[in-house]
Structure 1
Amino acid sequence: MRLVKSLDFRRWVLMGAAALGIAVPGVVTTLGGPAHAGASLEERKLPMRFSWVACPQHCRGWISAVGIVTADSPRDFDEFAHGRQLGGATIVLDSSGGSVNDSIALGRRWRDLGLLTTVGTSMQTRTAQGDRSSVLPEAYCESMCVFLLLSGKTRYVPEAAHVRVHQIWMGDRADDARAASYTAQDLMIVERDVGRLAKYTFDMGGTGDLLSLSLNVPPWEDLHELSREELQLTNIVTTDALAAVLPQTGSPVAPVAELKGKPVPDRFVGSAGETEANPQPQKTTKTAEAMAPSGAVAATVPAK
């Protein structure tokens, strides 16, 4: 499954794919409206990129994860993690979502490593005192990103962050979902991936309320932004303390921009009889998200 992307971007991708004769089998998507502005929005349209943000003096650093989850993302993360001691590290998310099954696989990897999660935009600036790393709290975690957020052993969401959810859907019919036609095979794919997502959610410590809130938002409506109360209700947030995910070491000067907010709970996922990272491809479905410029084929994605 793929994470949410702007409608304009999805149309652009579909037009490009059509012109090249590209077809992506077995994909359900999650669609979403525009969320960011400027350079950050452009980065969020690209396949997910992982980078290590070092703190020269006052904190231990963190992993920045920006962009859309594609079929390549689990492998890309494994390559990034190779040779690094990432156990217990923090991942700072800024993402519109992406492939459902690949997000599930990635989230399980993160939980196995005991990673911590939060939402934010990582920044590095040069000052007279040297390089400085910070996290800006106004960032977006949408669609399947919310379930990646849920994979954190400890999860924090700043007040200024936007955590938004919606249904999964067939990606090639999300722009006009009500007018499209669907086969029994299409319904089977969606229900299969809803089941996987539900299992994952409970495995990660999320609640049924997260599934309920997500599955109540059809593709023709705007994404639902979780309130502070809903972040607690769904168990996405597990801490109100920024220091629980971005600890500082021995400095009165905070190396991280203030994230005044409370943690957010996690999400769901699962598989029945199939490997989550390698779901069996289906014939007749494709998704705009799956056709992001990564050259990969994905599975299901939230539908906005």
Structure 2
Amino acid sequence: MRRVTALKSRGWVLLGAAAFCLALPGAVTTLGNSAYAGGTLEERKQPMHFQWNACQPDCRGWVSAVGIVTSDSPREFDEFARGRELAGATIVLDSSGGSVNDSITLGRRFRGLGALTTVGATVRAQDERATVVPEAYCESMCVFLLLSGKTRYVPPVAHVRVHQIWMGDRADDAKAASYTAQDLMIVQRDIGRLTKYTFDMGGTGDLLSLALSVPPWEDLHELSRAELRLANLVTTEAATDVFPQNNAGVPMAEAKPTKPQDRFVSSAMEGEAQPQQGKSTKTAEAAVPTGGNAPAQPAQPQK
């Protein structure tokens, strides 16, 4: 099956001296900006992985979801969630997108848990205390994962960017490429699936209109605060609505599952090599780092 791919985007500006962290009691730390930016950029090249981050002593923890959504991501999230009480958990996204169909599946998993969603980069200090840095990137299909949250918060310094889906094997020169009726059918089908999902999650037609108006030969469009509200991607302006600080009033996700796991469960558990780059799947995939200081380049489809 041919694939639709997420394409290029502008590089980010490295965090400056004004960078700050979400104030989580017992979890606030300060990291060097260059170390944070470089580490996060490298993680964003990999298939999406999930990690539980404990928050001590007086606030609830959260799930970090970092990287590219692949055909394995829904299964890996199911493995991660097994043995954990994740109902009402906060999911912190830092992703350049990925597979359309698999992002839809994953987003429905999040909604089924009644998850809260936000954008941020989870970092750890030497003492292992976790911190959420709000200047992070949620691009392409990550935006629709953000939409899956029952409550959705986007920090003012976060970057939420959208564009069209496209055929991955013609990503290098979308204008010059030729397309068959089958290709057009695949794109139309997935737009239909994405439209239904958007309305099921409480999004608006404005979100679809903004995303589908950006062709693959242009940079991604970064949503303004007004556009975030128009798309219904933001349901609250208070970080404390997605990072509750009173454990007695909300369900607490367990820090340790019944089966120990680290980062994400991959095909290595079945005797295969662990993937090093995002693998192509049914539809769209972003296989290049975005939100970095490298020059923009189109995604390369994987086989």
Matches within 5 A, 1:274-289: none
Judging changes above 3 Å, is the alpha-carbon distance between structure 1 residues 32 and 295 closer, same or farther for their aligned structure 2 residues? closer
The residue number in structure 2 matching 1:140 is 137
The residue number in structure 1 matching 2:203 is 206
Partner AA of 2:103 in structure 1: S
| 8 Å contact kept, 1:169–1:300 | yes
Q: 1:42 offset after TM fit, Å?
A: 1.2
The residue number in structure 1 matching 2:78 is 78
Matches within 5 A, 1:25-64: 25-35=1-11, 37-64=37-64
Partner AA of 1:215 in structure 2: L
| 8 Å contact kept, 1:32–1:222 | yes
Partner AA of 2:182 in structure 1: Q
What is the CA–CA distance in structure 2 between the aligned matches of 1:296 and 1:139, rounded to whole Å?
24
| 8 Å contact kept, 1:28–1:300 | yes
Task: Tell me the secondary structure at the aligned position of residue 114 of structure 2.
Answer: coil
Judging changes above 3 Å, is the alpha-carbon distance between structure 1 residues 220 and 213 closer, same or farther for their aligned structure 2 residues? same
Q: 1:38 offset after TM fit, Å?
A: 1.5
Partner AA of 1:41 in structure 2: L
- Does residue 142 of structure 2 align to residue 166 of structure 1? no
What is the CA–CA distance in structure 2 between the aligned matches of 1:99 and 1:91, rounded to whole Å?
19
Task: Tell me the secondary structure at the aligned position of residue 199 of structure 1.
Answer: helix
Judging changes above 3 Å, is the alpha-carbon distance between structure 1 residues 184 and 292 closer, same or farther for their aligned structure 2 residues? farther
The residue number in structure 2 matching 1:298 is 282
What is the CA–CA distance in structure 1 between the aligned matches of 2:279 and 2:234, rounded to whole Å?
34
| 8 Å contact kept, 1:169–1:301 | no
| 8 Å contact kept, 2:70–2:281 | yes
What is the CA–CA distance in structure 1 between the aligned matches of 2:278 and 2:45, rounded to whole Å?
11
Task: Tell me the secondary structure at the aligned position of residue 29 of structure 1.
Answer: coil
| 8 Å contact kept, 2:10–2:219 | no
| 8 Å contact kept, 1:93–1:117 | yes
The residue number in structure 2 matching 1:123 is 123
Q: 1:242 aligns with which of 225, 235, 239?
A: 239
Partner AA of 1:55 in structure 2: C
| 8 Å contact kept, 2:95–2:142 | yes
Task: Tell me the secondary structure at the aligned position of residue 210 of structure 1.
Answer: helix
Matches within 5 A, 1:252-291: none
Q: 1:298 offset after TM fit, Å?
A: 3.1
Q: 1:61 offset after TM fit, Å?
A: 0.3
Q: 1:34 offset after TM fit, Å?
A: 5.0
Q: TM-score, normalised by structure 2?
A: 0.74
Q: 1:300 offset after TM fit, Å?
A: 3.3
Q: 1:299 offset after TM fit, Å?
A: 2.2
Task: Spell out, residue by residue over 1:202-235, the C-alpha distance to the aligned partner (whole angstroms, 9 max, x if none).
Answer: 0000000000000000000010000000000000
| 8 Å contact kept, 2:2–2:169 | no
What is the CA–CA distance in structure 2 between the aligned matches of 1:170 and 1:81, rounded to whole Å?
32
Task: Spell out, residue by residue over 1:39-60, the C-alpha distance to the aligned partner (whole angstroms, 9 max, x if none).
Answer: 2111101100100000131211
Task: Tell me the secondary structure at the aligned position of residue 43 of structure 2.
Answer: helix
What is the CA–CA distance in structure 2 between the aligned matches of 1:126 and 1:42, rounded to whole Å?
19
Task: Spell out, residue by residue over 1:272-298, the C-alpha distance to the aligned partner (whole angstroms, 9 max, x if none).
Answer: xxxxxxxxxxxxxxxxxxx97355633
Task: Tell me the secondary structure at the aligned position of residue 8 of structure 2.
Answer: coil
The residue number in structure 1 matching 2:97 is 97
| 8 Å contact kept, 1:51–1:64 | yes
Judging changes above 3 Å, is the alpha-carbon distance between structure 1 residues 195 and 295 closer, same or farther for their aligned structure 2 residues? closer
- Does residue 170 of structure 2 align to residue 185 of structure 1? no
Q: How many residues align?
A: 237
- Does residue 229 of structure 2 align to residue 232 of structure 1? yes
What is the CA–CA distance in structure 1 between the aligned matches of 2:143 and 2:99, rounded to whole Å?
12
What is the CA–CA distance in structure 2 between the aligned matches of 1:190 and 1:55, rounded to whole Å?
42
| 8 Å contact kept, 1:54–1:60 | yes
Return 5+ residue gaps in structure 2 as ranges.
13-36, 248-274, 287-297
| 8 Å contact kept, 2:68–2:285 | no
Matches within 5 A, 1:213-228: 213-228=210-225
What is the CA–CA distance in structure 2 between the aligned matches of 1:168 and 1:182, rounded to whole Å?
14
What is the CA–CA distance in structure 2 between the aligned matches of 1:78 and 1:35, rounded to whole Å?
32
Return 5+ residue gaps in structure 1 as ranges.
1-24, 251-290
What is the CA–CA distance in structure 2 between the aligned matches of 1:295 and 1:177, rounded to whole Å?
21
The residue number in structure 2 matching 1:282 is none
Q: TM-score, normalised by structure 1?
A: 0.74
